[in-house]
Amino acid sequence: MEAVSGPKPVTHVIFDMDGLLLDTEKFYTEVQEIILARYNKTFDWSLKAKMMGRKAIEAARVFVEETGISDSLSAEDFLVEREEMLRKLFPTSDLMPGASRLIKHLHAKGIPFCLATG
């Protein structure tokens, strides 16, 4: 019979940035709503769900194709415009609840952590 042991200690932590440490997800929605408003289109949850978890260029293709604006705006141009708008908004983002406390705790315990993002 195999011995059951307790949880192993945390040795390292890798964080995703968007929506985990920083409250940036709302900016993606805001920017995409602004872009679509020029074409009298709306950004809704079903479109966002189709875009989530994809590489940026794949999500951009979904965005322009699903909204019917691909003849007016390429996926590549959409990304350039979106990134420019996001760069202005990101510095205003707030930490997610508990993020500061967790980072301070990890630092105090000497547990290395890093940030990874798409």
Catalytic residue among 16, 44, 77, 94: 16
Report the 3 state secondary structure along 51-98.
HCCCCHHHHHHHHHHHCCCCCCCCHHHHHHHHHHHHHHHHHHCCECCC
How much is the pTM? Answer: 0.75
Nearest to 47 by CA among 67, 71, 18, 76: 67
Residues of the chain with CATH 1.10.150.240: 25-93
CA dist 38 and 36 (Å) reads 5
Q: Respond yes or no: is residue 77 known to be catalytic.
A: no
Fold for 25-93, please state it: DNA polymerase; domain 1 (1.10.150)
pLDDT of residue 29: 93
pLDDT confidence band for 117 (50 / 70 / 90) = confident
CA dist 53 and 7 (Å) reads 29
Q: Respond yes or no: is residue 18 known to be catalytic.
A: yes
pLDDT of residue 19: 76
